[in-house]
Structure formats: C-alpha cells, structure tokens
Amino acid sequence: MEHRWGHRREISRAVHVGTRSGLAARGRISNISISGAFVVSPLPVSLFSHVVVQFTAMVEGRRTKMVVEGQVVRKDGAGFGMEWSEFAPEAVRALVTVPPFRLADPPQPHAEWEPVIHHHRPRIIHS
C-alpha cells in the first residue's frame, strides 16, 4: 500500500545518512516527495529505525547544509524508503520545488560532512 503524500519526483541527490547508533554512509536520494524519500545507500538500517539525512541545497541563492530526520518504512537490496519526521520540512520543500537541472549536485568531499550524532563517533560504511 502506498503511503506517500504529494507528487513523487525522480532526482539524484548526493547525501550522507546516519543512524542514532552512530553508523554513517554516503547515499543518494533517488526519489522524493513532501512526505518521504527513497535513499540508495549501503547503510544497514532496520525497519522503523530513525535516520538523519544531510545534503546541500540552494537557499536564498546560497549553498546551505541541510539536515532532515525520518523513519525507515521500507527496505530493499538497493536502499530504503523513509518518511520524514516532520511533514514537508523546509529543506525537502526546497528540493521538491527546485527545477530538475539543479537537483544533481556532485557529491561533496567526505571531510566537509559534520556528523549530527554527537554521542557516538560515526563508523563509515563504504559501498
């Protein structure tokens, strides 16, 4: 059964994803809506676990680091489907409304990523 709200957009956005336990990996959002997204990533997640997604977006003409939290609601061999913790967060609305030619940013170097989870040192999982 489909639980998505809003129109799904196919995109290719480089992201970093992390779990509350401190695991972190690179990934890519392959489709997005105002209620969730599908993230292609090697990050081992469990259904209903909470994840943090970090990416860079254009906000008022400036590249801005964005963080969105959500819960894993579906898994397959390529990655996982997630629902945002907050319906239509500002960062996601910006991604959904940006013209397609601005959606595919090159991956950011790993050194620029700052973990959101401060209690544990992230363990990086390479694909």
The pTM (predicted TM-score) of the whole model is 0.70
**Amino acid occupying residue 84:** W
Model confidence at 81, pLDDT cuts 50, 70, 90, reads very high
Model confidence at 60, pLDDT cuts 50, 70, 90, reads confident
- The arithmetic mean of pLDDT across residues 54-58, rounded, is 84
Identify the top-confidence range among 2-6, 10-14, 93-97, 110-114. Answer: 10-14
CATH 2.40.10.220 fits 9-97, yes or no: yes
pLDDT above 80 for 108: no
pLDDT above 90 for 121: no
Spatial neighbors of 34 by CB under 8 A, at least 6 apart, are 5, 6, 84, 87, 88, 92, 93, 96
Domain boundaries, the chain: 9-97
CA-angle at 10, arms to 96 and 93, nearest 5°: 10
Q: What is the longest distance spanned by two Cα atoms in the chain?
A: 39
| Contact (Cβ atoms closer than 8 angstroms) between residue 42 and residue 35 | no
